[in-house]
């Protein structure tokens, strides 16, 4: 059974810092990995999707990497801003079972 773990569970940083969120998964039989952002009480916003054959994806101040063989992904946020405060979720789409498996999330607070 796939298990997805996100570290740290919570993170508080001053504005302007670069930061890294970590995601690990136990079963490497994945199609892709997706990073999401969720504001309190809201839906999920897709940030980046990395296919299993890719090593990284970039969008603005965000960069996500994937090492499928070791079961790890990182989300790098450059020059953090208070508006980045949210819960960040990673999820893997399994090769079998046609479904996303989510990690528990990292709660990020960026202080101004």
Partner 1 sequence: DTEVTQTPKHLVMGMTNKKSLKCEQHMGHRAMYWYKQKAKKPPELMFVYSYEKLSINESVPSRFSPECPNSSLLNLHLHALQPEDSALYLCASSQPSGYEQYFGPGTRLTVT
Site of interaction with partner 1 (CB under 8 A):
31-32, 34, 36, 41-46, 49, 89, 91, 93, 95, 97-100, 102-105
The helix (run of H) or strand (run of E) holding residue 41 is none
Q: For partner 1, which is the closer residue by CB, 80 or 87?
A: 87
What is the rounded distance in angstroms from the CA atom of residue 75 to the CA atom of residue 21? 5
Structure tokens given for 73: 């992904």
Residue that has been written with the tokens 């504001």 in this structure: 39
Least distance to partner 1 from the beta carbon of 80, Å?
22
| Minimum distance of partner 1 from residue 62's CB (angstroms) | 15
**Do 62 and 47 form a contact (C-beta atoms < 8 A)?**
yes
Nearest distance in Å: CB 112, partner 1: 24
């Amino acid at each position: 059974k796939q298990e997805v773990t996100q570290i740290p569970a919570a993170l508080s940083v001053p504005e302007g810092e670069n930061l890294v969120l970590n995601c690990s998964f136990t079963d490497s039989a994945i199609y892709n990995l997706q990073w999401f952002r969720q504001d309190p009480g809201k839906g999920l916003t897709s940030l980046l999707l990395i296919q299993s054959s890719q090593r990284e994806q970039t969008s603005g101040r965000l960069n996500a990497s994937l090492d499928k063989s070791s079961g790890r992904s990182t989300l790098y946020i450059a020059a953090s801003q208070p508006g980045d405060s949210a819960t960040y979720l990673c999820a893997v789409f399994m090769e079998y079972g046609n479904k996303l498996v989510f990690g528990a999330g990292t709660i990020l607070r960026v202080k101004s």
